[in-house]
Amino acid sequence: MGIRITPSILSADFTRLGEEVDRIASADGVHVDVMDNHFVPNLTLGLPVVEALRARTDQLLDIHLMIEDADRWAPAYAEAGAESVTFHVEAARAPVRLARELRSLGARASMALKPATPVEPYADLLGELDMVLIMTVEPGFGGQKFLDLCLPKIRRTRELLAPLGKDVWVQVDGGISESTIERCVEAGADTFVAGSAVFGADDPDAMVRHLRTLAEA
Ligand code: DX5
Ligand code: ZN
């Protein structure tokens, strides 16, 4: 099982995003949080900024859409060149169709679950996905406290994925740091978003490497 560290630029300096991305050269991708002030009570950035990042970096772009009407907007992020597009299942009308559309556009298709959303109702569509994102805080803001109540869902997701025999990644997002990453690994996560822990560090790339070392131990 591979380990991937995908820092969230939500905690980066938005006035110089290009340079911030350069500061995490060891990362496996850049996690980009798109918020629309409807699905979550916060507003961040959208397609033009993703397009600008695409032109600026070769890092894989891991787009996390916290927006309503995901069916309508998600494909545009794949068309913009993002390698991975995550939609919230709570905001998708036709998640199977959307996952297939994202894949047909060449992106990895990923489905996110808020802390109160169970994975079991979606068991039958996990084979349509390349990644499942288990939120470990309520989405909307960086710097929140990790919710231990999300750990059992990581385990259940792994159990549901096992019989598929496919390498579907399990990503966690929210409150991931050197003090919480190990319990997520133990529960079955393999892909880690960290915003404030990475960009709040004096040396963001050293923190990426440190988190990877902890996860791989
Ligand atoms: C929150 C976002 C996260 C956020 C994580 O809704 O999805 O990606 O940036 O920030 P930290 O790591 O600070 O909890
Ligand atoms: Zn995120």
CATH fold of 4-216, please? TIM Barrel (3.20.20)
- State yes or no: is 124 an active-site residue: no
- Could you list the pLDDT tens digit for every one of the 217 residues in the chain? 699 999 999 999 999 999 999 999 999 999 999 999 999 999 999 999 999 999 999 999 999 999 999 999 999 999 999 999 999 999 999 999 999 999 999 999 999 999 999 999 999 999 999 999 999 999 999 999 999 999 999 999 999 999 999 999 999 999 999 999 999 999 999 999 999 999 999 999 999 999 999 999 9
Evaluate whether ipTM surpasses 0.90.
yes
Catalytic residue among 33, 62, 130, 190: 33
- Residue 173 CA to ligand 2 centre (angstroms): 6
> Residue 33: CB within 6 Å of ligand 1?
yes
Question: Can you give the pLDDT at residue 1?
Answer: 64
Q: For residue 194, give the ligand 1 atom closest to its CA.
A: 12
Q: What is the pLDDT of residue 47?
A: 98
Write down the catalytic residue from 36, 130, 173, 190: 173
Q: What is the pLDDT at residue 163?
A: 97
Rg over CA atoms, the chain: 16
The verdict on the CB of residue 8 being under 6 Å from ligand 1 is: yes
Query: Are the CB atoms for 155 and 185 separated by under 8 Å?
Result: no
Residue with tokens 């309520």: 138
CB 109 within 8 A of CB 85: yes
140 lines ligand 1 (CB under 6 A): yes
Domain residue ranges of the chain, discontinuous segments joined by +: 4-216
Q: Which SS3 state, helix, strand or coil, does residue 24 take?
A: coil
SS (H, E, C) 140-206: CCCCCCCCHHHHHHHHHHHHHHHHHCCCCEEEEECCCCCCCHHHHHHHCCCEEECCHHHHCCCCHHH
Cα separation, 52 vs 80, whole angstroms: 10
**Ligand 1 site, residue 42, Cβ cutoff 6 A:** no
